[in-house]
Structure 1
Amino acid sequence: MTTDSQTQANDAALDFLLSRRSRPAKTLIAPAPTRAELMPLLTAAARTPDHGMLTPWRFVVIEKAAMPRLAALTEQAGARLGKSEADIVKARSQFDLGQLAVVVVEVQKESAKIPAIEQSYSAGAVCLALLNAALASGWGANWLSGWASHDPVFCQQGFALQENERVAGIVHIATQSTTPPERPRPELSDLTTWMQK
């Protein structure tokens, strides 16, 4: 039961959250969302908690035609950073195989009231909100990062990031080709403390 001052229960949304499961990026195939289909997902992601209303994030949408350039930049970054061939192949695979992805860019903003870490938390929450919006809409989706996404040179060349920006996550969205099995989840009794006073 709820009163006028309480939020109405949304059992379907709760059921979704209790059973949500990311789809491995390597299993995502065409088609990917169109621009029109992607906009509601970005809109949902932008409703993320944002202390101080700073909007400390923005989106860079990687469409299919941009994937080869990013794969090549990943290989160049790997050579520059001394990564192994296996590391380079794995890192560039998200662009070699990618259909569409949204880079959630954390944008640190000067604020006397909002600490930098809270801005980082908001950007991370945007990644999860976007992932869940895509899954709830029937798309397959996966939130990735990796060493290339933490390299300032790659991020500047690949996504035109500024000095106050960094990649919070790269959310791949397309059609799921397989349904992954459930994976082990944490035991809540090991992670939960109840404070009674």
Structure 2
Amino acid sequence: MPSPNLAANPAAFAYLETRRSAPAKLFTDPVPDAAELDRILTAALRVPDHGKLEPWRLIVLQGQDFSRLADLAEARARDLGGDAEKIAKGRGQYDLGRLAVVVISSPKASDKIPLTEQVLSSGALCMNLVHAATAAGWGASWLTGWPAHDPVFRAHAFACTEAETVAGIVHIATPPATLPPDRPRPDLARIVQRGLS
């Protein structure tokens, strides 16, 4: 039985029980327009942010941004001596991108708010962004890929400082009409401990 102080939202719960991402490589046009995206971003930013530090920043990618990033990823792969597979994986999501939001974890100096909580806030923002875009009727897929974890790439691509990392790149566009089969979900009996004894 739900709390007497808060009304249950069966539709929202049903969405959470069945939500899954489609592969971004299957997304097509159209994508949200500027007003739709602003609404999605506004909803997504209602995220746990202890201390109101806003320890993140967002970059919206569209159009030529993707070809620039694909070329940067390829150049970085070559600098690292990467083979054709590493190059293809580096270019992959950028070659096929239509619209994406890069969530940069940008921790702030604080004596009160631990770094871990600030980084987790960025992850929560990524998940909120997936939920907001999906609830608005769009496909959403949270990716990173090896270039996003490479300090040289992220410095050139997203002007990240040494303290900043890429929490996620959330692609938002039109999903396929038919989703691939769902993946197996975690077994509660295996991962949930009920109590400390």
Structures share fold, TM-score greater than 0.5: yes
Give me the whole-angstrom Cα distance separating, in 2, the residues matched to 1:153 and 1:25.
Answer: 25
Stretches (4+) displaced over 4 A: none
Partner of 1:26: 25
- The one-letter code matched in structure 1 to 2:88 is V
- The one-letter code matched in structure 2 to 1:20 is R
| Partner deviation per Cα, 1:98-132 (whole Å, 9 max, x = no partner) | 00100000001100011111111100010011011
Residue correspondence of structure 1 range 1-197 to structure 2 within 5 A? 2-3=3-4, 6-177=5-176, 178-195=178-195
Q: Which runs of 5+ in 1 are unaligned?
A: none
Report the Cα offset of residue 40 of structure 1: 1.3
Give me the whole-angstrom Cα distance separating, in 2, the residues matched to 1:25 and 1:105.
Answer: 19
Give me the whole-angstrom Cα distance separating, in 1, the residues matched to 2:32 and 2:83.
Answer: 34
Q: Which runs of 5+ in 2 are unaligned?
A: none
- The one-letter code matched in structure 2 to 1:179 is L
| Partner deviation per Cα, 1:6-64 (whole Å, 9 max, x = no partner) | 22111100000000001101101111111111111111111111111111111000012
Query: 1:109, 1:164 within 8 Å by CA — same for their partners in 2?
Result: no
Equivalenced residues, count = 195
Percent identity, aligned pairs only? 50
Report the Cα offset of residue 137 of structure 1: 1.3
User: Could you say what the CA RMSD is over the residues aligned between the two structures, in angstroms?
Assistant: 1.4
Give me the whole-angstrom Cα distance separating, in 1, the residues matched to 2:196 and 2:171.
Answer: 42
Q: TM-score, normalised by structure 1?
A: 0.94
- The one-letter code matched in structure 1 to 2:90 is A
Q: TM-score, normalised by structure 2?
A: 0.94
Change beyond 3 A, Cα 1:119–1:196 = closer
Q: Helix, strand or coil: the match of 1:29?
A: coil
